[in-house]
Amino acid sequence: MGALGRIGSIFRPRPTLSDEDVARGLRMMTREGMASMGFSSITTSGFLAAFALALGANNLQIGVLAAIPFIMQLLQIPTILLVEKVRRRKAIATVTWFAAQLLWFPMALIPVLMGTPSGAAISALLGLMALRGALSAVTNCAWNGWIRDLVPQHILGRFYSRRLALSTIVAVVFGLGAAFFVDYWRGQASSESAVLGYTYVLLFGALFLGMVSPIFMSFMPEPLMQSATSPQPSLLKTLGIPLRDGNFRKLMSFLFFWGFASNLAVPFFAVYMLQRLGLSLTVVIALGVLSQLFNILFLRVWGPLADRFGSKAVLSLCVSLYLLVILGWTFTTMPERYSLTIPLLVILHIFAGVAAAGVTLTVGTIGLKLAPQGQSTPYLAGASLALSLGAGLGPLAGGLFADFFRVRAVALDFTWIDPTQSIRLGIVNMTGFDFLFALAFLIGLVTLTILAALREEGEAGREVVLGELMTQAGETFHTVSSVPGLRFVGRFPFGYLRRVPGMDVALGVTAYQLADMARMATLAAGQGRRATSKAARAVEEALLGLAARTGAMPEHGSEIARQTARGVLHGTKGATVRNAERLIRPAVAGIVRALSRAHVDPQDTFRGLGYGLVQGAAEAGTDLGQTAIQAVDSARDAARAAGVEEEEAAALAAEGALAAAEAVGPEAATEVRRVLCPGTPSPEQ
C-alpha cells in the first residue's frame, strides 16, 4: 500500500508550485524532449521511409505511413472529456506515452517475424503505427493543457527554443549514427538479412531513448486544473468553444491548410532522394543532419524574436521561406540528376532547417498565447486537431498524386534548327514528384493570406522582424563561418530577388555573411604586426574571392560595399580610436580596389562604404560622428584607386553616411550632420 501511495503521489496534481518546482519541471521537460526527439530523428524521418521501402511499401503506403500519426490525432476529441473528467493530465499522458513507446519493439522485429519485402510486413507496420498513433493522440491532448499551465508565458519562446536546440543535438548524433550503421550493415550482410540493420537501430533507440522519455515525464510536476465554475459542457459544446472565437478560428484554418500543404510534399523528400536521385541513406540522413544543424543555430534567433515581436510575425517569415524551399525541389532534376543537384540539395536543406526551426517553435507557442487561461484544453485540442487533420490528409493526397503524376510529364523546350545543326534547351521539365512540389507551393501561398488576417496581442510587422533577423543572422553565421564549404551561403544575389515569396527571409539570413567575412578579416589583421597592410590585403582578397565565385559584383555593388564596410567596423570593435582608424582606412582601400577590379560603379562603392561604416557603428555602439569622419577621410584616401576625384568620393561617402544615420534615428542624423555639415542647421531648427 505504501508503494502504491508513493506512486499515486507522483501523479497527484499540486494546488500550487514554487519557483523551484517550476524550474525542476522545466529541466525534466527539457530532458524528456532530448530523449523523445532523439529517437524521433529516425522514426519520423527518411530512416522510417527507407525501412518501409525495405518492407515493400509503395508511394501510397508511404503516404499512409506519414498520415497515420496525424489522422489518429482525431482521438483527441473524446480525450478532451476524459481529461476534463479525470483531471489528472500527467497520469494520462505518462501512461499512454509509455505504452506508445513500447510498440516500437514489435515494429522493429517485423523483419524477424515475417518475410520481407511483403504485403504482410508493410501491413503489420501500418497497423502498429495506427495503434501507436491512437495512444499518442491521448498523450498529446493531456500534455498540451498540462504544459500550458506549467511553462511561464513570458519565457515560452526562449524555453522552447532551448529545449528544441538541445533535443536537436541528440537527434543529429543518433540519426547520423543510425544511418552510418544501416549502410555499413547492408554492405556487409547478405541481401536477405540487410533489412535487419533497421531492426537493430530501432531496438537500440527504443530501449535507450524511447523508454527514457516517459521516465523524465513522470518527474515533471502538474499544476492543479482550475475547477469548473459551471456544469461540464457536452462534447460538441466543448469542441465549439474555440470555433466561436473568430480569431482562434483563423488560427485553426491556417494550421489546417499549412499542415496539408507542407505534408503534401515533405514526407516524400526522402523517397525522392532515395529512388529518383539514387542517393544512399547516409547521404539522405547527412543532409537531414545539415538541416538540423541550422535548425539548432536559428532556434536561438527565432525564440527571442517570437518573445519580442510575437509568434505570428516570425511564423509568417518562416512559412514564406519554407514554401520557397519546397518550390526549389522542382529544380533538383533537369529532368534527371545533374551537376548542380547536390549543391542545390545542400542549400535547400540549410534553408529548410532555418525555416523549420521557426515554424516548429511558433506553431507550438502561438496556440498557447491565444488560448485563454483556464480554457486551454479545448483550445489547444482544436488547434492540434486542425493541424493534424491537414497534416494527415496531405500525405494521403500526396501519395495519390505521386502515383498519378509518375507516368505524366510537362516539358517546355527552346529549339533552334538550321541546315547544319539543331540545338535544344530544356526550360521546364516536370514529372512525377515535381508536380507534387509545385502544387504544395501554390497551396502554401493560400496559407499566408489566412495568417495575415490573424491577430496576436503585441504583434509586430513583418519588416520589423526581418530587420532584426538580419542583425541576429550575422551573429549566428559567425558560428559556422569557419567551416569549410559553408561560405557559399553568402553568394546569393541581392535586391531584385526580394519580391519572390520567402526570398526576403533567405536574403536576411545570408546577406550578413559578407559582413562576417569582412569582420573576421579585419580582426585577424589587427592581431598581428603591420595591421595596416594586412587589413587592406585581407579584405581585398576576401572580396576578390567572392567576385570570382559569383560574378555578380557589378549589379549589387552598393549592397556588397555596405555589408563589407559594416563588417569592417565590427572588426574594430573594442580597439582604441587610433587603432580603429589605422584598420578602417586600409580596409576601405582594399574594398575599393576589389570592387574597382570587379567593375563596380564607383558611386555605388563610396555610397555603400559610407552607409555601411555608420550602420556598423550604430550596431556596435561606437561614436557615429567620429565614424562618419573616418568614412569621408577613408574615401578620399581610396579615391585614386577607383579613378575618381577625392572630393567626389568624399561627397558620396558623406551621402551614404547621412542616409545610414537617418535610418538609425533623428538623434543619429543630427550628430552625423553636425560633423559633416557644420554650417547646416538641423531639421528641428
Structure confidence by residue, pLDDT tens digits, 563-619 = 778 777 766 665 555 556 667 778 788 888 888 877 788 888 888 888 888 888 887
Taking the CA atoms of 315, 319, 325 and 326 in sequence, report the sign of the dihedral they define: positive
Asked if 408 and 515 sit in the same domain, the reply is no
Identify residue 188 by its one-letter amino acid code. Q
Residue with more model confidence, 337 or 573: 337
Separation of alpha carbons 660 and 573, rounded Å: 18
Within-domain flag for 441: no
Domain boundary among 397, 414, 431: 414
- How does strand 409-417 pair with strand 422-431? antiparallel
Look at residue 580 and tell me if it is in a domain.
yes
In a domain, residue 498? The reply is no
401 in the same domain as 528: no
Q: Quote the pLDDT of residue 464.
A: 55
Structural contact between residues 370 and 156, judged by C-beta atoms closer than 8 angstroms:
no
Q: Give residue 635's domain range.
A: 508-676
Query: Could you read off the pLDDT of 124-165 as tens digits, one per residue?
Result: 999 999 999 999 989 988 898 888 888 887 787 778 878 878
Contacts of 449 (CB under 8 A, 6+ apart): none
**Which has the higher per-residue pLDDT, 373 or 150?**
150
Same-domain status, 401 and 545: no
Comparing 93-97, 225-229, 315-319, 498-502, the range with the smallest average pLDDT is: 498-502
Question: How far, in Å, CA of 61 to CA of 65, rounded?
Answer: 6
Domains: count for the chain: 2
Classify residue 645: in a domain, yes or no: yes
Q: What is the per-residue pLDDT for 130?
A: 95
Q: Could you give phi then psi for residue 18, rounded to 5 degrees?
A: -75, 170
Cell match 501500418: residue? Answer: 126
**Do 410 and 537 share a domain, yes or no?**
no
Dihedral sign (CA 314, 320, 326, 331): negative
pLDDT of 229 over the 70 cut: no
Q: What pLDDT is recorded for position 41? A: 84
pLDDT at 228: 56
Burial of 176 per CB tally in 10 Å (0-12, 13-18, 19+): middle
Amino acid at 489: V
Residue closest to 570 by CA, chosen among 481, 459, 499, 666:
481
pLDDT band at 361 (very low <50, low <70, confident <90, very high): confident
- What 3 state SS string does 114-157 have? CCCCCHHHHHHHHHHHHHHHHHHHHHHHHHHHHHHHHCCHHHHH
Average pLDDT score over the chain: 79
In this predicted structure, the answer to whether residue 481 has a pLDDT above a threshold of 50 is no
Distance CA 257, CA 27 (A): 34
pLDDT score at 122: 95
Answer with the residue of higher pLDDT: 556 or 314. Answer: 314
Q: Are residues 525 and 398 in the same domain?
A: no
In this structure, the answer to whether residues 42 and 191 fall within a common structural domain is: yes
Residue 472 forms part of a structural domain = no
pLDDT at 578: 57
425, β-bridge pairs? 414
pLDDT digits (tens, 9 = 90+) for 165-190: 888 888 888 988 998 999 899 888 88
Q: How far apart are the first and last CA of the chain?
A: 84
- Would you put residue 58 in left (φ > 0), alpha (ψ -120 to 50) or beta? beta
Spatial distance between the Cα atoms of 570 and 568, rounded to a whole number of angstroms: 5
pLDDT confidence of residue 494:
33
Q: Is the pLDDT of residue 517 over 60?
A: no
Q: Same domain for 397 and 541? A: no
Q: Each residue of 621-636: b (16+ CB within 10 Å) or e?
A: ebebbebbbbbbbbbb
Residues 427, 190: Cα–Cα separation, whole Å: 44
| pLDDT at residue 577, rounded to an integer | 54
Closest CA to 44 of 168, 146, 139: 168
> What is residue 428's predicted lDDT score, i.e. its pLDDT?
67
Confidence of residue 216 (pLDDT cuts 50, 70, 90): very high
Question: What confidence score (pLDDT) does residue 385 get?
Answer: 80
The secondary element (H helix, E strand) that includes residue 327 is: helix 311-328
C-alpha cell belonging to residue 552 = 555578380
pLDDT of residue 215: 93
Q: What is the pLDDT of residue 549?
A: 45
Q: Considering 414, 443, 468, which residue would you say is the last residue of a domain?
A: 414
Type of residue found at 308: R
For the segment 557-567, what is each residue's pLDDT rounded down to a tens digit? 777 778 778 77
Average pLDDT over residues 381-391: 84
List pLDDT tens digits, range 53-95: 999 999 889 999 999 988 888 887 788 778 888 888 999 999 9
- The predicted pLDDT at position 176 comes to 87
> Residue 25 above 80 pLDDT?
yes
Residue 497, helix vs strand vs coil:
helix
Cα 570 to Cα 485: distance, rounded to the nearest angstrom: 24
Residue 66 lies in a domain: yes
pLDDT value, residue 620: 74
Q: Quick one: which of 49, 48, 71 has its CA closest to 396?
A: 71
pLDDT at 263: 92
Write out pLDDT tens, residues 398-444.
988 888 888 777 777 777 777 777 776 666 677 788 889 999 999 98
Domain for residue 187, yes or no? yes
Question: Are 200 and 342 within one domain?
Answer: yes
Looking at the domain assignment, is residue 247 inside a domain? yes
408 and 431 in contact (C-beta within 8 Å)?
Answer: yes
- H or E stretch at 519: helix 512-526
pTM: 0.62
Same domain for 404 and 541, yes or no, is no
Please say which residue of 355, 386, 414 terminates a domain.
414
Is residue 174 located within the same domain as residue 281?
yes
